[in-house]
A and B are shown apart, each in its own frame.
Chain A
Amino acid sequence: MFSKASSLLLGALALVGFAQAEEPLHVRVDQLIEKQAAGQPLAPVAGDAEFLRRVYLDFAGDLPTAAEARAFLDDKAADKREQLLTKLQTAPRFAERLADALNVMLMERRGEDPAWKKYLQDSCKAGKPWDVMAKEMIAPDYANPDLKGAGYFTVRRLEKVGQQTTDYPGLTRDAGRMFLGVDLQCCQCHNHLTVKSYKQVDFNGLFVAFQNIKLEGGEGKAAKVREMPLTAKYDFVSVLTKVAGQTGPRVPFSEEVAIPDPNSDDFWEVKPDPKKREIGVAKFSPLKEIAQRIATKENPWFVKNAANRMWWLLMGRGILEPLDQHNNPANPPSHPELLDLLAQEMAAHDLSLQWLLKELSLTKTYQRTSVLPEGEAPPEKLFVVAKERPLSSEQLVRAFLRATGEYDAAAAADAPKGHGLADFDKAFRTAFANAPKEPELTVNPTLKSALFLRNSDIVLSTVKPQHANLVERLVAITDPKALAEELYLSILTRLPNAEETAEVGAWLEKHASDRPRAVGHYAWALLSSEEFFSNH
């Protein structure tokens, strides 16, 4: 179904797979990274504390408590890292964390929806293959209560939100970006000017399927989409060359799907009735046709995009950058062989996102320290040093509540008004999430987030001594060194060095007249520090 070039590529992928089938994937990943490092020194594997903090944030979206941290640091077992990874990756939180990450990636902060969230969480918990999920999102089954939440991907993009109009081109663009890793936006009006392999027909072949759906509404809010009968190809003209083109439903870089003859009796599921103004229902569903052709192991861009995005999630940078510019010969991946390998292995493992993430977490590449070597910083694209990644608002709110010892109080059914988990979620999302429709590839510090940290009641409330939270626990510790350790372990998941311990002691001494406030301020300074805000 794909062009010759793509088929050849798939063939090549298979060969790579056979040649090195004996080694586990994570070993082969490190080999390929090391091979390409070409003399650049590889950063050492991170220490226990850095590792601990990183895997908690990545696989639980949370921090360990001080006690958990201490236990891990004190553990002498040789395989304690593997044990911890297994513990985190088999816990229910892993599915929730992955669902959070997919939500941010796929919806780009367009809004929150309970049914969508539940769909993502259930799918991640069930370990649903990515092709199955993608099909469910592209051509949603609104009749199935377990799957209709997947329709939010489409419905939300077509809703009129404020000044935003029904945005079919935007939906088309995002389907390409999210599922194939190609941003075809420019191709709505003309062949791409800088990416020669992106043609106008590539955009419009998807567009013809998406522009053919209409929102149908529940109360005040559109609940689902309905697909109209498609009886003719779509005409387009290049605004640059004035050359006209025509296409039926077509997945980029592949062959067009033929539209059945609308005059044949076999075309209609329900025939149109002009008297009742019923437009009828066709058997042919362009949306299902393209969903099947996008979300399949046989589509190399579908698989590579997924592999690259999972890599990005753990490494902070894609093997291909930008994430949505696959199939551009002028912009090859930094490690083409590696991307092919990941794609091939992922395809061989049921297109499981979790499987790939687990394998990647075992690599040295993932486990390296983020401390830069002396001298000039090595290029990021070599992956010889771990990249610092800012926390998403979802990771941040949990980390914040865990560190301050406020999580249980906020999650309790009788949480004080305005201080429940949902309140914290909302406040942190408002302060730290990117603007809607901005790909959240990094989190920008904003004036809003700075003011929120400095002055908001909800932040300040967490560093007041109360219900056995961190500050209350610390105030009860008389030995400054012990206090400093508990403080640093709770917030930064590491022990303070001597200098840091001394600083805590000096601060407490200086502010001895009001010890609870002094401890609160110190905790606040650590919580607003960059170390806390990064997954390093």
Chain B
Amino acid sequence: MNALKPLHVVPGACQLTCARFSPDGSIVAAGAVDGGVQRWKLENKKLEPLKPLTGHQGWLSSLAFHPKEPWLFTADSWGRLRCQTFTEEAPPVIWENAAAHDGWLRQLALSPDGTQIATCGRDQFVRLWTVQGKPVAEYKHDDDVFLVTFSPDGKAILFGDQHGHISQWDFAAKKITRTFDVTSMYKMDRMQDLCGLRVLTFSRDGKLFLVAGCTPNNGATTQSVPTCLAFDFATGKLKHTFTYGTPKDGAIEDAIVHPNGYVLAATSGNPGTGRVIRFKAEEKTAFDDTISLANCQAVTLHPDGQHFVVVSTSSGSGNGRPKTADGSYPTNVCPVNLYFLPEEAKSVEKGPNLDAVIDAKVPK
């Protein structure tokens, strides 16, 4: 299979942590390490830049679009949670909470019915909010919480912690009802906790619970094997283990379940290593790994099932030391790569774009 060529590449102006298509596919929003939200309009097979949104601090760590309303939810590493519109030149903030968490708000997720938001953070809290920003419930965990998502029925929140434990929190009953052991995706290396969790998501039919990220090997120049575990959500049993490549290949940094059932994932590994891979959770090998891009940070899929965007990192970003010829010391940047999958045209079912709802990604 020949490698797919990008339709368009935006060179990038900053390092990015996450990216999502709006539910109608017209806009891509990406979170940046300068706290901004970069935006592009998809027009004529190109990504045309819109003015970035500002107002966050630290890193913009997670974002999600509401499935129906024109709302974009964003979170940052200083604990701020915000809701605003996103099409205007300077979109108004609808509401915000500057202290939704104490410090790094690692991830947010929207409920399938679009009425609630779940958030988690380094402060060890998992919180439930209405989409209007009203606190509903909270759970104090005993560990840094990296990932959060809703169960397909919207009645529980699943969250994953640093040590590789995933808990199912029945927030109405105020209790943890069960846990999933993904400690194979955790390792203590010398004194450093290596957490391999990056993505929690479900298969389109809601039967498989997918945990993607990596099996860590060591810290320093990190070595880890991209991994995706698939649990039977009804029984809680581990059904499939998918791994890709070698410890140099790093981690699945972001993944989306395609309407046709497979997983579209982006990896980042050793300096300059990165791939876009497509695989079925129940199979051992990827059926497509032809796209090679340096250190992918995020991937997002257009509702048409054909366009997708991958956030990668500038080439030569392997070492933070080099200066330019004139002696200046630039930042690395993340190119934004737009692709198109021609073969998927007929097969995509029409229906709600679950992508925007259930997958959300945790930044590094």
Touch test A–B (CB under 8 Å): no
Please report B residues at the A interface, Cβ cutoff 8 Å.
Answer: none
